[in-house]
Amino acid sequence: MNMQWYRLGMAASLALILAACASSGGSSSGNWQNIGTTSNGNIKVAVDKSSIKKNGQLVTFRDRKVISKLSEEKFVNTPAYKTALADWEMHCGNKTYRLTALQLLNDRGQTVTNQRYTATNLRPMSVMSGSITEKQYELVCGKKL
């Protein structure tokens, strides 16, 4: 009888450990396609292709920005972070985009901040030619700016 409880306890412990491993950093898992860099090459930008959802002219997607050298960045109005995971809305017809959610992670992968934004909080901005947002537009909208 004790052996049965031992096996059950071990199975439950293993399941909990595996679940913790699977959820650790799970927010950054995805089908990432590198699209370029910003900040003189210090920030690498990728789009999660599996997150792209189209609803008419409106497309939602997730991107990831990873800072190579933290010491070279100035963090204004945000805590220092290594990785930014952001959810975006992009209007392919209007050529505008808007941030809907942002998670900042430190160099140990721990969440420093987790924010959600409404259309009232952050208004749509125009996609600018020559920007990393233009590359996002081309990827998620499937056409040139």
pLDDT digits (tens, 9 = 90+) for 96-140: 999 999 999 999 999 999 999 999 989 999 999 999 999 999 999
User: Radius of gyration of the chain from Cα atoms?
Assistant: 19
Pairwise CA distance, residues 81 & 1, whole Å = 51
Are 70 and 93 contacting, i.e. CB atoms less than 8 angstroms apart? no
Q: How many CB atoms lie within 10 A of CB 25?
A: 11
- Among the listed residues 45, 71, 50, 69, the one whose alpha carbon sits nearest the alpha carbon of residue 61: 50
Pairwise CA distance, residues 52 & 126, whole Å = 19
pLDDT digits (tens, 9 = 90+) for 55-88: 999 999 999 999 999 999 999 999 999 999 999 9
Compute the Cα dihedral for 91, 95, 98, 103 and give only its sign. positive
Residue 139 has what pLDDT?
A: 98
Residue 27 has what pLDDT?
A: 55
Query: Is 5's pLDDT higher than 90?
Result: no
Residues whose CB is less than 8 angstroms from the CB of residue 4 and which lie 6 or more positions away in sequence, other chains included: none
Pairwise CA distance, residues 65 & 39, whole Å = 11
